[in-house]
Amino acid sequence: MNISEKDKQYVWHPFTQQLNDREVVNIVKGQGVYLIDEHGNKYIDAISSWWVNLHGHCNAYISKKISEQLMQLEHSIFSGFTHPSAVLLAERLLQHLPSNQSKIFYSDNGSTAVEVALKMTLQYWHNKDINKTMFIAFENAYHGDTFGGMSVGARNVFNNAFENLLFDVKHLPLPTADNFERVKAQLRNLIKQNAIAGFIFEPLIQGAAGMLMYSKKYLDELIEICNENNVITIADEVMTGFGRTGKFFASDHLKNKADIICLSKGLTGGYMPLGVTSCAQFIHQAYLSEDKTRTFFHGHSYTANATSCSAALASLDLMEENNTWHQIEMISTSHLDFKNKIGNAKKLNDVRVLGTIIAFELKTEEHTHYLNKASFSISSYFLKKGIIIRPLGNIFYLIPPYIITKEELQNIYGVIKEFIDEI
Ligand SMILES: *Cc1c(COP(=O)(O)O)cnc(C)c1O
């Protein structure tokens, strides 16, 4: 059996219907912005391999830093022990995070970063002997695939099978110019009528929902209401972190900063799994006690994995270089220019840009939906042209690694234009 046949025999892929959508491309090499398959075909990774890659594949600097770490210490227990990479990474992340953040808790992916944030919030109130256990989240939200993450997420096709087991959460519509006064009133009412522990949100852009964007002005006001009412705010920056929105964190666009911030995806530059939940000092304070039952009893075997931390440190080195920010700027302006060129196309409902992310919403007969049939035809069209795009139903988007060149971007825009003209 060759690799594709063995894959079919032995492997179960994520978010993939195993009966019909089983065709997989066998990637044998990564090189900068490209992934290369077993036949030597090169594909531009226009979605940064599920939004994780920042500096390209097989980046020489990050790979070297990881190898050095591997010769020194690959992993060690993180309860009762520490190691330099985890400590230095915490210190450096806190230099970039909003100044109200003061402690870093490590886990190993975006869902666990969220799960930790939810538990940290619940036990904060528990430790203070205040009975508050309800969360507020946005409609359409995506916060990961674990039960806590699913519970604060939208109720949709992703979690139908588990719906009865998800804990109760109050969902708010995403604020728009039309509904904002109502959303604010709804938030105030929810806080009045329920013992609300926390409000979790994807700041400025909901990724998995279809790159839905909303104004920072609205979010600032909603956070303000939470602050006035002792509701803990959680910014899920798993996708938005590390430059994606044009600033280091999406929170940097806001006046009001969340109490807890979740990071993963770009954290290691797309090299290794790692999750971070950072929190403000007052939250950590509520866990300091002679009473051992107030301890945060949460931890994963691979907490603060040294190899992952070394990748994150190397990626941070590159994030701190001016050239990376020039690239982020170049990608953002290129996206805006292209939006201006194509924004009025009849076959598009909407084109939207935030920083390095551009999303296109196709007009289709079917209602906007993750299982929209347009999805498959879009991805296969682009794949044939050497571009990896993974639509969310009738919405497709670019979220490229920062090393992409202007020419490569223009080439992708050209194919998008052809695609829209042809359909
Ligand atoms: C991807 C994502 C998650 C889940 O992260 P995983 O590493 O896939 O578990 C959570 N929140 C947001 C906003 C995400 O985009």
Atom of ligand 1 nearest to the CA of 202: 13
Domain boundary among the residues 319, 354, 384 is at 319
Atom of ligand 1 nearest to the CA of 275: 7
Cα 333 to Cα 330: distance, rounded to the nearest angstrom: 5
Atom of ligand 1 nearest to the CA of 208: 15
**What does the block give as tokens for 49?**
């391999």
- Domain with 160 in it: 64-319
Instruction: Identify the residue whose tokens are 């790979």.
Output: 63
User: 49 and 70 share a domain?
Assistant: no
User: 45 and 83 share a domain?
Assistant: no
Dump pLDDT digits (tens) for 80-106.
Answer: 999 999 999 999 999 999 999 999 999
Q: How confident is the model at residue 343 (pLDDT cuts 50, 70, 90)?
A: confident
User: 253 and 314 share a domain?
Assistant: yes
User: 250 and 353 share a domain?
Assistant: no
* Whether the predicted pLDDT of 366 surpasses 90: no
Residue in 262, 265, 271, 277 to alter for ligand 1 test, most ligand atoms within 8 A of Cβ:
265
pLDDT value of residue 368: 57
Non-local CB neighbours of 407 within 8 Å, separated by 6+ positions: none
pLDDT value of residue 220: 98
Spell out the long-range contacts of 64-72 with Cβ–Cβ below 8 A and sequence spacing 24 or more: 64/314, 65/310, 65/311, 65/313, 65/314, 65/317, 66/271, 66/272, 66/307, 66/310, 66/311, 66/314, 68/310, 69/306, 69/307, 69/309, 69/310, 70/307, 72/306
Instruction: Identify the residue whose tokens are 């939250």.
Output: 283
23 or 251: which leads in pLDDT? 251
User: 139 and 263 share a domain?
Assistant: yes
Q: How confident is the model at residue 374 (pLDDT cuts 50, 70, 90)?
A: confident
User: 196 and 248 share a domain?
Assistant: yes
How remote is the CA of residue 72 from the centroid of ligand 1, in Å?
30
pLDDT value of residue 18: 87
* φ, ψ (nearest 5 deg) of residue 348: -110, 135
Q: Report the sign of the C-alpha dihedral through residues 219, 221, 227, 231, in that order.
A: negative
User: 68 and 41 share a domain?
Assistant: no
How remote is the CA of residue 404 from the centroid of ligand 1, in Å?
23
Cα 244 to Cα 119: distance, rounded to the nearest angstrom: 27
How remote is the CA of residue 341 from the centroid of ligand 1, in Å?
32
How remote is the CA of residue 203 from the centroid of ligand 1, in Å?
13
Mean local confidence (pLDDT), 360-381: 79
User: 96 and 112 share a domain?
Assistant: yes
Instruction: Identify the residue whose tokens are 């205040």.
Output: 130
User: 307 and 349 share a domain?
Assistant: no
User: 38 and 95 share a domain?
Assistant: no
Query: Between β-strands 260-263 and 395-398, what pairing exists: parallel, antiparallel or unpaired?
Result: unpaired
Instruction: Identify the residue whose tokens are 């939200």.
Output: 141
Q: What is the CATH number of the domain that holds 279?
A: 3.40.640.10
User: 289 and 361 share a domain?
Assistant: no
Percentage of residues of the chain with pLDDT beyond 90: 92
Out of 12-21, 85-94, 215-224, 370-379, least confident range: 370-379
Dump pLDDT digits (tens) for 124-179.
Answer: 999 999 999 999 999 999 999 999 999 999 998 889 999 999 999 999 999 999 99
- The residues facing 31 across adjacent strands are 34
pLDDT value of residue 124: 98
User: 193 and 254 share a domain?
Assistant: yes
Domain boundary among the residues 254, 285, 319 is at 319
Residue in 49, 109, 111 to alter for ligand 1 test, most ligand atoms within 8 A of Cβ:
111
Dump pLDDT digits (tens) for 381-397.
Answer: 999 999 999 999 899 99
How many domains, in total, are found in the chain?
2
pLDDT value of residue 305: 98
Q: Are 236 and 148 in contact, with CB atoms under 8 Å apart?
A: no
Dump pLDDT digits (tens) for 257-300.
Answer: 999 999 999 999 999 999 999 999 999 999 999 999 999 999 99
**Residue whose C-alpha is closest to residue 46's, from 416, 319, 376, 316:** 416
pLDDT value of residue 356: 98
How remote is the CA of residue 366 from the centroid of ligand 1, in Å?
27
User: pTM of the prediction?
Assistant: 0.97
Q: Are 299 and 105 in contact, with CB atoms under 8 Å apart?
A: no
* Whether the predicted pLDDT of 309 surpasses 70: yes
* Whether the predicted pLDDT of 215 surpasses 90: yes
Cα 23 to Cα 3: distance, rounded to the nearest angstrom: 12
Q: What is the CATH number of the domain that holds 358?
A: 3.90.1150.10
- Ligand 1, CB cutoff 6 Å, lining residues: 109-111, 114, 142-144, 202, 207-208, 236, 238-239, 264
Domain boundary among the residues 319, 349, 377 is at 319
